[in-house]
Structure 1
Amino acid sequence: MSSRARLQGRFHLLAAVLTTLVQLPAVLWLCWLTRTPLPALVAALLSWPYLRQLRSPWQTTERGLSTYLALGWWSACLVFGVLLVPTALAVRAGFPFGAAWGLSGALALIVGADAVLGRPRLRRRVVRVEGLPAGLEGYRIGQISDVHCGPHVPEERVAAWVSRLNALELDLVTVTGDLITHGSSHVEAVARALGGLRARDGAFACMGNHDYFTDGEYLVRQLERHGLTVLRNEGTVIERNGASLYVAGVDDTWTSRHDLARALRDRPEGAPTVLLAHDPDLFPEAQARAIELTLSGHTHGGQLGVPGVPRLSLARFITVWTAGLYRRGRSWLYVNRGVGTTGPPARLGAPPELAVITLRRA
């Protein structure tokens, strides 16, 4: 047996073990409740078609009904498992048995469905900038991140997200990296879709690590051909009502292409700066250079987290800047959870999002 076959066999075994553990509490409880093995059979029928076609943790098979059913079911089982103890305690305290378990089951199913079908939330945040010129008061910046266009995120879905942002009539729109999953199959598709972005002062993008899982230079050419400005260790000055805003972007950190000093080389004295940096770990360096606002992505908000606790997620294993808005001194960072996914196309406790940041004078 080849080493590749052995690795694939181990991956399939690991995937089967993990999904079994996720489902076990819910399935055992349902088997006990019904006094039949039918729930276990249903779980196997829902899980097997998806597990059988997995090839790697980053598999890119087309999203179909088996994918929706398996991932939605596993997400529901995970939520139900978390609710087991508090529900049992509620029943013991006198809450009606049927109502308690019915409520927990319904909540688990709703969250499970949202994990695979959830529409991106529109997050609106205000950033107060010291010394913001009057001409930039109320300036609105849209952000879309981690699109991961591919078999799970077709061009039509990206175009729908673009339409939502365009409807807001923004001053500026930004794309903060990881536009594709990998390979060249969806480069032209994502360029066409994102090329539809419209804002008063233009659309700007930076590169992420996944954008070099293909020919990065070809991706840049396609994006710019369709109207986006890709900032790779460079910046541009935007004039609005007699005020200047400097918009800069750095290249990918994972391949050591980033150069923040070069990106800020043409920054006018005193001009507030918006930095596009896919990797939020650049924030301390941005703060040291007095950058007012850094827009990042990369983390997906963990993609798997605790519902209702946005910063308690798998992203904790890669960075302290997991999701949302952060501040250090006069510098701000917004970490966008993104709209796409890596690996299994599901998000639990880390819903997809589009963001609008409004600048206000401190």
Structure 2
Amino acid sequence: MSFPTRFQGHFRLIVSVVVTAVQLPTVLWLCVRTRTPLPALVALGLSWPYLKRLTTPWHTPAPSRSTFLALGWWSACLVFDLLMLPAVLAIRAGLPEAAAWGLAAAVALVVGLDAALARPRLRRRTVRIAGLAPELDGYRIGQLSDVHCGPQVPESRVAAWVKRLNGLDLDLVAVTGDLITQGPSHVEAIARALGGLRAKDGAFVSLGNHDYYTDAEHLVRELERHGLGVLRNRGVVVARGGARLYVAGVDDTWTSRDDLERALAQRPEGVPTVLLAHDPDLFPQARARGVELTLSGHTHGGQLGVPGVRRLSLARFLTRWTAGLYREERSWLYVNRGAGTTGPPVRLGAPAELAVLTLRRG
């Protein structure tokens, strides 16, 4: 996906206006408290090196100390902005002023730095499936999603996530789309990194919309060359003892390549199904066809949201299925917040994640 040159200046201007608005309340408060313009100069010094290197939403400055400081500072400012009113109310309720503002500043710094680091957290969930064979009780599926390998997510970082999953001795690993950011530059890198995935019954991949921002056929060939099973509107049967599990994958919805009927066409009667579908909006269709578990991504949990309240995030502009585990009737959906990012590599209230879902008899 190209980004017209004439819009690059506009993009930089829009981002500059947004980050200025985010910083303004905190910077003004600091200037008043210190009675100097020094906080404004510090904010400019942290922000400008990052802003001047912006070109498009997908080509943001590569990871560096200045990038980390800028993103951490902006995130801390946003959190402090939100804590200003509670701090004022606490002071009026009798809390010493120094304690109220000090606590607000400490929380803002901790949350801001954590948002800039964006280190994936391991989330474990249990999915109970009626009629699951005893041989599959306790079957563990690792999920990695929205890797977005590119300037912000180098091969070495993806390899570290792979190593972490490998250390869990999983039965199967699902990678649910958006493996790259865009273009051909990191196709071989992501294939090499994901090719290191190890699980008893293998690693399987479905594609997302970003995977078509390059030559997707080349990407698929590289993934398969490194031993990954790419499921494009098809499925495979995994056997464990006398039990079977049908693992299917559906192609990208944004380019209208998805075909759920084809993906489920070879499903044996009565065999539980795990569906890899990058876009969680396919869940109602999967539920209608009796799919027991759908694994999705795409939303990033919004990347910006209210901690602990999954409905209050930017992902609500995309879908009702924003993050985490959902259940409707006998069908489950897990929406992974993803390990990587698009745009500025920062997450606030929507931490990156690796997931492990354990199947249990219902």
**Cα shift at 1:104:** 0.7
Which residue number in structure 2 is paired with residue 92 of structure 1?
92
Question: Deviations for 1:129-178, whole angstroms, at most 9, x for unmatched residues?
Answer: 01111111011000000000011100000000001100000001110000
Find out whether 1:213 has 2:252 as its counterpart.
no
Which residue number in structure 2 is paired with residue 352 of structure 1?
352
Find out whether 1:78 has 2:78 as its counterpart.
yes
**Helix, strand or coil at the partner of 2:205:** strand
Find out whether 1:284 has 2:298 as its counterpart.
no
Find out whether 1:125 has 2:144 as its counterpart.
no
- The gaps in structure 2 that reach 5 residues or longer are none
**Helix, strand or coil at the partner of 1:95:** coil
Q: Distance in 1 between matches of 2:85 and 2:60?
A: 36
Q: Distance in 2 between matches of 1:57 and 1:283?
A: 28
| 1:9-20 equivalences in 2 (<5 Å) | 9-20=9-20
Which residue number in structure 2 is paired with residue 332 of structure 1?
332
Structure-1-length-normalised TM-score: 0.98
Question: Deviations for 1:184-228, whole angstroms, at most 9, x for unmatched residues?
Answer: 111000100000000001000000000010000000000010110
Q: Distance in 2 between matches of 1:310 and 1:285?
A: 22
Aligned AA (1:223): L
Aligned AA (2:241): N
What is the total number of aligned residue pairs between the two structures?
Answer: 360
Q: Distance in 2 between matches of 1:213 and 1:57?
A: 14
Find out whether 1:240 has 2:253 as its counterpart.
no
Which residue number in structure 2 is paired with residue 297 of structure 1?
297
Which residue number in structure 2 is paired with residue 185 of structure 1?
185
Which portions of structure 1, spanning 4 or more consecutive aligned residues, are displaced by more than 3 angstroms? 3-6
Which residue number in structure 2 is paired with residue 141 of structure 1?
141
Q: Distance in 1 between matches of 2:19 and 2:105?
A: 19
For the Cα contact (< 8 Å) 1:301–1:311, is it kept in 2? no
For the Cα contact (< 8 Å) 1:142–1:170, is it kept in 2? yes
Aligned AA (1:167): G
Q: Distance in 2 between matches of 1:335 and 1:233?
A: 19
Which residue number in structure 1 is paired with residue 153 of structure 2?
153
- The gaps in structure 1 that reach 5 residues or longer are none
Distance 1:5 1:143, change over 3 A: closer
**Cα shift at 1:310:** 3.0
Q: Distance in 1 between matches of 2:27 and 2:229?
A: 51
**Cα shift at 1:118:** 3.2
Which residue number in structure 1 is paired with residue 39 of structure 2?
39
Identity %: 73
Find out whether 1:252 has 2:285 as its counterpart.
no
**Helix, strand or coil at the partner of 2:52:** helix
For the Cα contact (< 8 Å) 1:293–1:333, is it kept in 2? yes
Q: Distance in 2 between matches of 1:128 and 1:4?
A: 48
**Helix, strand or coil at the partner of 2:222:** helix
For the Cα contact (< 8 Å) 1:181–1:342, is it kept in 2? yes
Which residue number in structure 2 is paired with residue 50 of structure 1?
50
Q: Distance in 2 between matches of 1:5 and 1:342?
A: 19
Distance 1:9 1:105, change over 3 A: same
Q: Distance in 1 between matches of 2:176 and 2:66?
A: 31
Aligned AA (2:329): G
For the Cα contact (< 8 Å) 1:60–1:150, is it kept in 2? no
Q: Distance in 2 between matches of 1:40 and 1:335?
A: 40
Which residue number in structure 2 is paired with residue 315 of structure 1?
315
**Cα shift at 1:56:** 1.6
**Cα shift at 1:266:** 0.5
- For the aligned residues, what is the CA RMSD? 1.1
**Helix, strand or coil at the partner of 1:262:** helix
Moved more, 55-64 or 252-261: 55-64
Q: Distance in 1 between matches of 2:4 and 2:57?
A: 14
Aligned AA (2:17): V
Find out whether 1:116 has 2:99 as its counterpart.
no
Structure-2-length-normalised TM-score: 0.98
